[in-house]
Structure 1
Amino acid sequence: MPQIDRRFLLNAFALSGAAALAPRALSPAAAEPSGAAGGRPPAPRFGFDDVVKRARDLAAAPYDAAMPKLPEALNRLDFDAYRDIRFKPEKSPITSGPYRLQLFHPGFIYKRPVVVNTIRDGIATPIPFSTSLFDYGRAKFEKNLPVNLGFAGFRLHYPLNSPHGQDELVSFLGATYFRFLGRGQSYGLSARGLAVNTGGDDEEFPYFREFWIETSAKQPEKATIFALLDSASVTGAYQFELTPGDESVMEVAATIFPRRDNVKFGLAPLTSMFFLGEDRNSGKPSDDWRPELHDSDGLLMHTATGEWIWRPLRAPRVMAMSTFPQDHIKGFGLVQRDRNFDHYQDLELLYEIRPTYFVEPHGDWGEGRIELLELATKDETADNIVAYWTPTTPPPSGKPFSYSYRIRALLEAADLSPAGRVVNTWKTWPKALGSNETVDVGSRRFIVDFAGGDLAFYAQDPSTVQINASASLGKVTRTILMPNPHIKGFRAFVDVQVEPGQSTNISAFLHAGPKKLTETWLEPWIAE
């Protein structure tokens, strides 16, 4: 399965130094409006219903896989030459209000042109391509570029970190990838519009073929983006409403038109990178001097019963797919929990301020599961983590469905769960250092730090706290729990034994009598 090269995406994202759809659950798509009351025609305002109609019409036509051919000079651009092409900020098609729009030039790995429109007073107008919009730096072309070239994507700037600044707030570039930031954050993981057959040999990467961008004087802090999705298996209409702040929020609504049966759709997919964590034995050995390398260090799930589950991420030696049955899911996200600079020591990439993205469905999405795909990777330049929710029963072709959700871009994710949280995970041999204990074949010790919630209160009398640990296969041979004053919480030791070559899922949480004090830590392990 192809991996998205993050070095290209990261630097391409940083080349310079409507009718609202009400939140609704996964459901059959609503019928189109019949018109204004009293028979009067509706005002000609472009909105989400127009994109839905285009997606419906597109689904009724045969899929056209042909891609407009770029001039060979653009196809030959290498990374450095492409990075040298910069949009001129003073050419922004949006000049009123706090937002400014910049376009990405096609070329290099971004070979599929897209149409970008602005909406003003309800009227959608395409932005024409012009070389005058760009500073080409060292890039020189023998022939003039065509006037109908189109763009690779776009980004919006906004005074996010300073009242008088213009910071990059959100970018749409490549397939259906997009990223957005809250205050004080630096780009890390990405979101996607839709995942299709992820993890299989027939995986598709749908793309947004057209965008419409609207800002309003009535709500100057909000930007609305409409997008038309297309691929061999599906078309779709999307509405993104972005509100920036300390915690920026993206409200997403979509109507999907499946073209084929038995397609696995991944809703609200998130894509990230994990190469090295605190347990350096969890992934591929590295000689890198930096202690940790990751955009996200865990998958956090909020279940229908109110339970919070923490699954640490890893960089496996071979591709691994983990499945978590989650009917009526309340939320999930890829979380960057470790905010300590000393754990990264990278002055340029700023891993400690990369955002958490947490997805909260609107309404009941029904029966389904969360899937977590972890890919092997040789370094930190490739996104190797994908997480999404997929319905138990694949939607049939010809039956459109709608759903909506919220994505929160966070730095401090403590408010997501009121309970104690996992802050560290390690594994080692199940014996004391220097001990003569015999280690049984297929045995391992997992060490988990819990902090936050009410743990500081209960740490005053550690005898009131117990650990509940289990393994899906094999057995838990020993547990040890001790207070950890350095984190105002507890350190748990869980010894597990399974037959060599077999895999098990180990879970643990802390409780005081019937009261659960922490989220549930969940760790897969294959005994060697």
Structure 2
Amino acid sequence: MTGLTRRTMLQLSAAAGLARLFTGPAQAQAPDGLKLGPAESFSYEWLKRHARELAAQPYDAPPRPDPEIVQRIDYDAHGKLDYRMNYALFPESAYPISFQHVGMYFPKTVQMHKLTGSGDAREVLYDPGYFDVGPDHVASDLPEKPSAFAGFWVHQPRSEGPLSEVEPWATFLGGCYFRGIGESGQIGMSARGVALDPGGSGAEEFPDFRAFWFEPAASEAEPVTVYALLDGPSVTGAYKFLLHRNEGVVMDIEANLHLRKKVERLGLAPLTSMYWFSETRKETMTDWRPEVHDSDGLYMWTGNGERIWRPLNNPDRISISSFQDRNPRGFGLMQRDREFDNYLDGVRYHRRPSSWVEPLHDWGPGVVQLVEIPTDDEIHDNINAIWIPDGDHGAGTEYHLNYKLYWMDDCPYPSDLARCVATRLGHGGQAGRANPKDKRKFVVEFKGGPLEDLPKGTIPEPVLTASRGSFSNQRTEAVPNDVPGHWRTMFDLTIDGADPIELRCYLRTDDQVLTETWLYQYHPLAEEA
């Protein structure tokens, strides 16, 4: 998220809800003990029409429980509000669902609906008895209305143990944020339904998933189906999620968006992560650990087939980079470094998932945009990657998007080319001589692919370009670690001016491209400019 702690989602307004969604209090007791509202007809087609109609109406913020009490449900207090799994939704299905409580960082009311097999939906009515709320807990003072549901978890199957012990593998909580677990058993970065002007000059807007409808998975091989209504001052949307539990998590996502107001930068299929520092660039004594990040690079597979790796930065000011494309084949924020010794702490950054967006139809012209925001701590999400379609994003405009979102260790479509495995910076110039203040040394490492099969004595040729400055002291060599196909190219860049410098590099022999393309945005230090 932008400009907020990773545990803070949004401050929300209180207002009356939508008449259709906040209906009367008639109740029924479900077999699982949940209280249910009256049956209402539901279909995805209705939800899409409703989102379109809603965009033509003035925005009404969702209701929220007593703000004074909710503000006192801080991070620790929220963590003690365990959901009682004997009240799980679809407890006998492959993947039971539990609900999450409002709190300081998740203060809004989100409606939950159980879909029956007959085309009807029944709201799951909030009851404080669903949660372990002790008499001394601040949440015990909340009234039953409005609902104190804030989000939900999708859990592992009952076959893995008692419901009280099965772990969750997907969560939707706060604004329109959601996450999935990766192959290595960790959650990390987030995705969003939509991003509106992240990191821009004005205030970023955070619309909400304000209602969900659930269909159970028919078996462990089948997906959980979730429908969602998105609403905010500038946009409404109807979403369909098919949540698959595989090696990691794969989500089939269909989004139908309608703009209430003009949006300067409409971010579709947005990904949000944290990057503080890595081996690339770290201030002296910043932290005892070698690296701290949920993602270390933006990976792109362009419409013309080029594979691009862009290492992330923690800049000293907001940086927005745009990569023009047409019908991209995919993009993602990746965690490539999987070595524990490169992190050394106990929060398992080496196991954080990568997230990859795969368009399922032609998206047309637009840009993949990378937003990097300064941070001085790991508690802040400061990285956004979004797709912005070309055009004027004015009121009344509609967007329809289908894509897959993978939560895996790596890109689901790896390239045959060697990949960039490290970017290192240092003083420029010659050893044993004074370091020239206008030179910066770069070392870019590539590994695997065709580099493993180079004939003895063949040295790859680096293809280097820069938006400004000049190169010197270029050298390419095999990394002296006896690992086949591990090469590095080194060069000095003479700095020219204070603005960021765009760098580009790949390795080749004759006409054969050996590696993916390395892109890097270098921010000169004050003494270099």
SS at 2:203 equivalent: coil
Deviation at 1:280, TM superposition (A): 3.7
Deviation at 1:143, TM superposition (A): 4.2
CA contact (8 A) 2:95 2:217 kept: no
Deviations 1:147-203 (CA, angstroms, capped at 9, x unpaired): 442411111101499588722110000000000113333111000000012222132
Deviation at 1:219, TM superposition (A): 7.1
CA contact (8 A) 2:109 2:146 kept: no
Q: Identify the residue that residue 428 of structure 1 maps to in structure 2.
A: 426
Q: Percent identity?
A: 35
The one-letter amino acid paired with 1:515 is Q
CA contact (8 A) 2:267 2:388 kept: yes
Deviations 1:14-61 (CA, angstroms, capped at 9, x unpaired): xxxxxxxxxxxxxxxxxxxxxxxxxxxxxx973321210120121121
Q: What is the aligned length? A: 488
CA contact (8 A) 1:70 1:107 kept: no
Deviation at 1:72, TM superposition (A): 2.6
| Alignment gaps of 5+ in structure 1 | 10-43
Deviations 1:497-524 (CA, angstroms, capped at 9, x unpaired): 1324243111110112111111111111
Deviation at 1:324, TM superposition (A): 1.4
The one-letter amino acid paired with 2:58 is P
Deviation at 1:79, TM superposition (A): 2.0
Q: CA RMSD in A?
A: 2.3
Q: Identify the residue that residue 21 of structure 2 maps to in structure 1.
A: none
Matched, 1:186 2:163: no
Q: Identify the residue that residue 203 of structure 2 maps to in structure 1.
A: 202
CA contact (8 A) 2:196 2:267 kept: yes
Structure-2 change in CA distance of 1:327 and 1:69 (3 Å): same
Q: Identify the residue that residue 261 of structure 2 maps to in structure 1.
A: 260
Deviation at 1:445, TM superposition (A): 1.1
Q: Where does 1:356-395 land on structure 2 (aligned, <5 Å)? A: 356-395=354-393
TM-score by structure 2 length?
A: 0.87
The one-letter amino acid paired with 1:318 is R
Q: Where does 1:45-56 land on structure 2 (aligned, <5 Å)? A: 46-56=42-52
CA distance in 1, matches of 2:159, 2:334: 22
CA distance in 2, matches of 1:210, 1:162: 29
CA distance in 1, matches of 2:480, 2:412: 19
CA distance in 1, matches of 2:329, 2:300: 8
The one-letter amino acid paired with 1:206 is P
CA contact (8 A) 1:462 1:483 kept: no
Q: Identify the residue that residue 333 of structure 1 maps to in structure 2.
A: 332
CA contact (8 A) 1:474 1:499 kept: yes
The one-letter amino acid paired with 1:180 is G
Deviation at 1:463, TM superposition (A): 2.0
Q: Where does 1:412-427 land on structure 2 (aligned, <5 Å)? A: 412-413=410-411, 415-427=413-425
Structure-2 change in CA distance of 1:425 and 1:259 (3 Å): same
Q: Where does 1:275-290 land on structure 2 (aligned, <5 Å)? A: 275-281=276-282, 285-290=284-289
CA distance in 2, matches of 1:306, 1:502: 30
CA contact (8 A) 1:115 1:209 kept: yes
Deviations 1:473-495 (CA, angstroms, capped at 9, x unpaired): 12222421001253432111022
CA distance in 2, matches of 1:279, 1:219: 42
Q: Identify the residue that residue 447 of structure 2 maps to in structure 1.
A: 451
SS at 1:80 equivalent: helix
The one-letter amino acid paired with 2:192 is R
Q: Identify the residue that residue 173 of structure 1 maps to in structure 2.
A: 173
Q: Identify the residue that residue 72 of structure 2 maps to in structure 1.
A: 76
Choose the corresponding residue for 2:456, options 453, 456, 461.
Answer: 461
| Alignment gaps of 5+ in structure 2 | 10-39
Deviation at 1:4, TM superposition (A): 3.3
The one-letter amino acid paired with 1:105 is H
TM-score by structure 1 length?
A: 0.87
Deviation at 1:144, TM superposition (A): 5.6
Choose the corresponding residue for 1:515, options 508, 512, 515.
Answer: 512
CA distance in 2, matches of 1:219, 1:380: 35
CA contact (8 A) 1:270 1:386 kept: yes
CA distance in 1, matches of 2:459, 2:441: 23
Q: Identify the residue that residue 302 of structure 2 maps to in structure 1.
A: 303
The one-letter amino acid paired with 1:479 is Q
